[in-house]
Structure 1
């Protein structure tokens, strides 16, 4: 039996669709405060994580997949259930870490309760496209230099557990991803650019170095492509084997319509 810990976004929906199509049982656990179109079997708050672990054990769950964006919550003591009281110090420490550090702590809790944590890409391997340029538009020499620069920037960001994406134009970092996420970063670049800032540029996205890929593996989809076009970018570059592409046909159609390239780039070029 497998459980899905679902945040918001398209990825949890794709996982539910896959299990239904295969006729496989899935317990959908929706994190309260993460809006989505799923109808969860269990709805829970962080303050009731201990109770959720107990309920999943009761249902015979042996595998867990965590998918979808979740805004970092505040720990509200008045919501705590008895089963969560004993892990409050660990939850407090997790919330004080970066995203990868926090997720490692949560993964450890599931493992200690006898559950194997699997990445979404293990269940849906087709979400990881092979290397190459998938669109009609192609990167130019300047784009290739910007992609190499983007890889350097994201590696430095990842070492500090900050984010997984940046925008680079003419070798300059125009924006880096932080807690608000990729969409917010791209929205900050929409509209006319300030005098002196280079035009064009690209979005570069990759996992953090040493990231636990069972959770929070980066993903893009049609919305990312449209946001990149709205930010005036020339293209999107993702690390081969490290970034999921959701709703591939729609994403590529959006890129072709906007004249953007989508380059699945091997690490190191």
Structure 2
């Protein structure tokens, strides 16, 4: 039984498993697993990330993939990192991340919102059987309010059931990026069986590094009159908010 989103092939190459399959078809991935895979590579360059922006250049196929990384802007206190995910020479997803060298700001820390009610107070999210395989089944979903097939704002908890890469421990940051792209899905304002609401990007800002297994999203989606939407989320771990996410959405009737 496969226990990870990806199998390591060596030399920064990975084989996608069926756990990466998104809800739109058997040949393309949900953006969560490849986002986590690129973050894993960025964390191999530097130990923490303060902001990561992904650009979706095309569908990520369920296939063998290659990861490349670089330090775009070295520095003593702040550095800009980049990573790319490709298949047979075609780049499908890129990421750029800021790393900031930490310091003790405990004396001035503050400004965060309230913590979400804990996962133990949430109920299993209802997912229809015909949508329940692949990535959706590889993550445990709990709902405080709303969810994938309940249009409108949502507060949910999520926890990957499998590792990012087989044979390697998954860090809390990787877990966060494995699920945070789903903020637009759980808070969708449209019936996704009748409408497309596809994100072209994902930006996550972290004011502290997450801990633990569960990631919470207090998410909402706004749709304008011209086919463009924005999904935003306050992102939590069990101790409270850790950052925010934002996604631009391409909205069209099917």
More helix by share: 1
Same fold at TM > 0.5: no
TM-score normalised by length of structure 2: 0.28
TM-score normalised by length of structure 1: 0.27
The higher radius of gyration belongs to 1
More strand by share: 2
